[in-house]
Chain A
Amino acid sequence: MNDDAELLERIRNGATDDFAEVVRRHQGRVYAILHRYERDAHKIEDLAQETFVKAWRALDQFDGRAPFDHWLSKIAVRVALDHLRREKRRQNEIGLPELGDDALDWLRSGDEQSELDGRAAAELLDLAMRELSPLDRVVITMQEIEGRSVKEICEATGASGVAVRVRALRARGRLRRALEKLMKGEHEQTEIEPAV
């Protein structure tokens, strides 16, 4: 059974257990999308489960015109967006996580080619992206990290092409300012350290 359409048809006809095969085939892709918006592994698992449950509920709406993984990706992006909106409301209550030394050293360094691994880069971006609105964050992440086209972003978010371009431009500006703020904050800390 190697075709999604055949598998989905069986599920629609009552073979509920076959949905586990759908999950196994696409869970990697869903995890890959969601971990761009959430760092906690347990929360990613919850969000991935929410994505598949929503896909299950909406299975009748999948018409097969686009590949199933595109349709599922759109649901994952919507789940991520809802999650970011909820987190945005709680952001001030939970405080900000601390950045690792590697990320701060790279940020402060004048040498752009200095070492920074993927994890540290993602942590740095995650912190800076908290300055963005949830939709701006999704747009810039899809465009710059996932390499999606404007058309794909429009389909996933429901925003117009103009809105996506405006948001991407605005998000880049805000992100640069947020990173500069992080850099400046660290400088201020090192300046006051000797006096403490």
Chain B
Amino acid sequence: MSKRKLNLLFERARNEPAPVPPEEFAAGVLHAIRHEPPGAVMEAPSIFDRLDLLFPRIALGAVAVIILCAVLDFGLTAAGMPGLHDGLSQISAQWLLTPDEFQL
């Protein structure tokens, strides 16, 4: 599918006439709103809708955090200080089972 063919498809779809509303459409809407006062608050968007709208900012933020952690780990290791990896190993050894305890 070439770019030109896709553009042609858009162009032809653009020419499709919209359907005509039925004669009694306005009366139907009026019937539906008759019992409602104007100005009621619209439904709030869901949390998923809000997250969807934040794309790609959330994705970029996540990548930035990963890069920051990697650079920090690399910098600490290069400076001879315990890096994030060592920190995680310490936590693992302190709170989780050590390899010795797995020995049968």
Residues of chain A having any CB pair with chain B under 8 Å: 11-12, 16-17, 19-21, 23-24, 27-28, 31-32, 35, 41, 44-45, 48-49, 52-54, 56-61, 112, 116-122, 124-125, 135, 144-147, 157-160, 162-163, 166-167, 172, 175-176, 179-180, 183
Which residues of chain A come closer than 8 Å to B17, judged between CB atoms? 118
B16 within 8 A of A: yes
B36 touches A56 (CB 8 A): yes
Find B29's partner among A31, A49, A112 (CB 8 Å cutoff).
A49
5 A-B pairs with the lowest CB-CB distances in the bound complex, closest first: A118-B16, A60-B39, A121-B12, A118-B15, A23-B26
A145 in contact with B56 given A11-B38, A28-B21, A41-B19 (CB within 8 Å): no
- Complex Cα distance, B8 from A180, in Å, reads 15
- Complex Cα distance, B25 from A158, in Å, reads 29
Find B9's partner among A20, A45, A124, A160 (CB 8 Å cutoff).
A124
B53 touches A163 (CB 8 A): yes
B41 within 8 A of A: yes
- Complex Cα distance, B55 from A176, in Å, reads 22
Task: Jot down 8 A-B pairs with beta carbons below 8 A, ordered by A.
Answer: A19-B29, A23-B25, A54-B42, A56-B33, A58-B39, A118-B13, A160-B57, A179-B9
Which residues of chain A come closer than 8 Å to B79, judged between CB atoms? none
- Complex Cα distance, B74 from A192, in Å, reads 57
A57 touches B13 (CB 8 A): no
A166 touches B36 (CB 8 A): no
A118 in contact with B14 given A160-B57, A162-B56 (CB within 8 Å): yes
B1 touches A179 (CB 8 A): yes
Nearest residue, chain B, Cβ from A75 = B42
- Complex Cα distance, B6 from A97, in Å, reads 21
A57 in contact with B40 given A19-B33, A49-B32, A179-B6 (CB within 8 Å): yes
- Complex Cα distance, B56 from A190, in Å, reads 41
B65 within 8 A of A: no
Which residues of chain A come closer than 8 Å to B16, judged between CB atoms? 35, 117-119, 121-122
B56 touches A112 (CB 8 A): no
Nearest residue, chain A, Cβ from B38 = A59
